[in-house]
Chains A and B, each alone.
Chain A
Amino acid sequence: MTQGTGQLTGGSNLTLQASSSTPAVTADWEQGVLSMVGESYPENTYEIFDDIISWVELYLHECERPLRVELQLNYLNTSSIRAMIDIFDRLQAAFDAGRTLSVSWLYDSRNPRSAEMGEEFKEDYTFDFEIAVFND
């Protein structure tokens, strides 16, 4: 189990604890699931996104199994939105090359802003991008 900022290698899981300005992140190689829960507004996005992007790249390049991305993000600052775009662009490239993958954007029914953010991401991609309430 990698606790972040280590050198990730193929087959590694990734676990990042949530902080007040960063989400909890878990990436499970065996299950093929990347999950992010919380809010993301760190001053410097590389603090968490470098690890996440490395994991996604490794997973997409070193195995052929499907990837499921589960996002429960209440708020993202603009630099985190940029970093998410970097992840989604990699997913799109893999999808275009025939990979099976999907994104689930889960939002709190009390926070329509999160749903709108998901919609704005979704409109730029063609892979399976589900937007759903998690607490109905």
Chain B
Amino acid sequence: MTSTLTTHRSLSSLRDFFSTERILICFNGPTSRTLISEIGVALKEHIESSSESVSAAMDVFSVYIEMSQNIRHYAGAMAYCDADATATVVIAETSDGHYVVSAGNVVQVGDGASLVERVTSLSTLDKSGLKALYKEQLRQPRQEGARTGAGLGLIDVARKSSAPLQCSLDELGGGKAFFTIRATI
């Protein structure tokens, strides 16, 4: 059974899709810490060279790192098999000069629901509210065995975004769901 994407024509149409959607870098599959880091470096260098703003590059890089590391920590803590431990990450440009970082992964339905709740509650806060919450979270004692970061990392992502975070949860059956988060920088 050959994948339809092995033909030149379909790969070319996939490439057209990426161009139309202004996708700079995207990734879908099993991750490694080196892969996350290498994609991040490529992303940062690309934005630094194509935009005037080093701040924009740093913000996109930072949001990408927090999202990707959250996914890796979660999959690690859940001891997911390879098929469930994959990450889907897309970094795109918008026509008005913003960047959109989206990341998705398989989660337990209950965890997904609390994430949606958390993202929704963050979207009600303004910049100073987010800063206060960030400082408070920074001082929280770390819980042993906590699925690290998802607290502080998520607030940091919200602080670097120019619009409220968006998210969604698609149930996959078997108690699992696909969680997607989207940040506009």
Residues of A within 8 A of B (CB): 20-21, 41-43, 74-75, 77-79, 81-82, 85, 110-114, 124
Residue of B nearest to A43 (CB): B33
Question: 21 A-B pairs, CB-CB below 8 angstroms?
Answer: A20-B37, A21-B33, A21-B37, A41-B40, A41-B65, A41-B69, A43-B69, A43-B72, A75-B58, A77-B62, A77-B65, A77-B153, A78-B66, A78-B149, A79-B153, A81-B138, A85-B138, A85-B139, A110-B54, A111-B55, A113-B54
Residue pair A78, B152 in contact (C-beta under 8 Å): yes
Q: Is the CB of B58 within 8 A of A79?
A: no
Whether B62 and A75, one on each chain, are in contact in the complex, defined by CB atoms closer than 8 angstroms, is yes
A81 surroundings in chain B (CB, below 8 A)? 138, 152
- Report which of A20, A42, A74 forms a contact with B41, defined as CB distance below 8 A: A20
For window 35-58 of B, CB contacts with A under 8 Å fall at 36-38, 40-41, 54-55, 58
The residue in chain B whose Cβ has the minimal distance to the Cβ of A114 is: B58
CA distance A124 to B139 in the complex (A): 11
Write the nearest CB–CB distance from A38 to chain B, whole angstroms: 13
User: A82, B62: Cβ atoms under 8 Å?
Assistant: no
Tell me which residues across on chain A come within 8 A of B66, comparing CB atoms: 77-78
Interchain CA distance A23-B73 in the complex, whole Å: 21
Size of the chain B interface, CB-CB below 8 angstroms: 26
- In Å, the complex CA distance between A74 and B61 comes to 12
Which residues on A sit within 8 Å (CB–CB) of B135? 124
Most A CB within 10 A of own CB, among B36, B72, B73, B138: B138
Contact present for A82 and B54 (CB under 8 Å): no
- Pairwise interchain contact A77-B54, C-beta atoms closer than 8 A: no
Shortest Cβ-Cβ A-B pairs, 5 listed: A113-B58, A78-B152, A78-B153, A110-B54, A78-B156
* Complex interface: chain B residues within 8 A of A21 (CB): 33, 37
Nearest Cβ in chain A — how far from B182, in angstroms? 19
Task: Give Cα A43 to B152, complex, Å.
Answer: 14
Residues of A with C-beta under 8 A to B9: none
Does B8 belong to the interface (CB within 8 Å)?
Answer: no
